[in-house]
Amino acid sequence: MDSTSILLEPSELDAVMARGGILIDARKAGDFKNGHIPGAVPLSTYDDIVSDTSLEGLKALTQALAYRYSTAGVTGERPVIIYEDETGPRAARELWMLELMGHKKARMLHGGLKQWVAEGGRIIEDTEIPTVRPKKIAVALVSGCLATADEVLRRAGNWDIGILDVRSELEWSGTDNTPCCRRRGHLPHAVHIEWTQFLENGRFKSADAIEALLDSHKINPRHDIVAYSHHGARSALAYFTMRHAGCAAARNLIGSWHEWSARDELPVEI
């Protein structure tokens, strides 16, 4: 996915929809009925945790994703726009999943629903969702956006890779109480930058601001950068902000802490 095409401004949305675009509302269940952008369909894989980043596991994941997205009318040819309340991790994770399976025409609505409304866009409460017959979507596993736990284990501590933990301070320090994770702490050699620091007023910070943020934490934007969170959503957002800022080698550890903490052979620091 070209880093220049990650975002779509609200003023551009109508034109994309007129060309057959699919608008996906990635917010939490129930938010859709309280008001959404006309033409949107609710779809979220946010709660589908990826616990196996082996080649076989990722192939199974992309096939399952292809079916889910096809039920919303997604094809390989139609543009896809994803939004949530602001520019956030739920939309970013959906966009990342589409990139993983090889979709080349997906973007996030910059600023989300709030920006749409601020610019005069209307919302509706109609909950009529058209039935779509699923169609087979050809998928091609795109590894350029992906980092696996085994690769991170092998390269952690090397000069040419930065590992970026974008979770909260409690998660980073191992003092959280995340019920689905048996171990607490963070990856060895990781640097902590909470994901909210990549945003300003619900939108991406400028490229210069992102580069300065990374530099202040001794992360070289020209090296490989692997971001992780709990299950790859907040890190997907960090991934896209870095890509948008020109960090061509940024990637997302999609299994993130959920997968890492479940594998006893992988080291943890507190």
pLDDT for 165-176, tens place per residue? 999 999 999 999
Residue 267 lies in a domain: no
Residue 21 and residue 59 share a domain: yes
The answer to whether 235 and 252 are in contact (CB under 8 A) is yes
pLDDT for 95-118, tens place per residue? 999 999 999 999 999 999 999 999
Residue 89 lies in a domain: yes
Instruction: Please say which residue of 122, 141, 160 terminates a domain.
Output: 141
Phi and psi (nearest 5°) for 223? -95, 175
Residue 172 and residue 117 share a domain: no
Residue 243 and residue 193 share a domain: yes
Domain total of the chain: 2
Instruction: Please say which residue of 141, 168, 201 terminates a domain.
Output: 141
The answer to whether 149 and 211 are in contact (CB under 8 A) is no
pLDDT at 4 (0 to 100): 56
pLDDT at 138 (0 to 100): 79
pLDDT at 2 (0 to 100): 58
Does the predicted TM-score (pTM) go above 0.85?
Answer: yes
Residue 68 and residue 174 share a domain: no
Residue 135 and residue 155 share a domain: no
Burial class of 270 by CB neighbour count within 10 A (0 to 12, 13 to 18, 19+): exposed
CATH code of 178's domain: 3.40.250.10
Residue 151 and residue 239 share a domain: yes
Range of the domain at 9: 3-141
Ranges in the chain, pLDDT < 50: none
Instruction: Please say which residue of 141, 158, 188 terminates a domain.
Output: 141
Residue 129 and residue 19 share a domain: yes
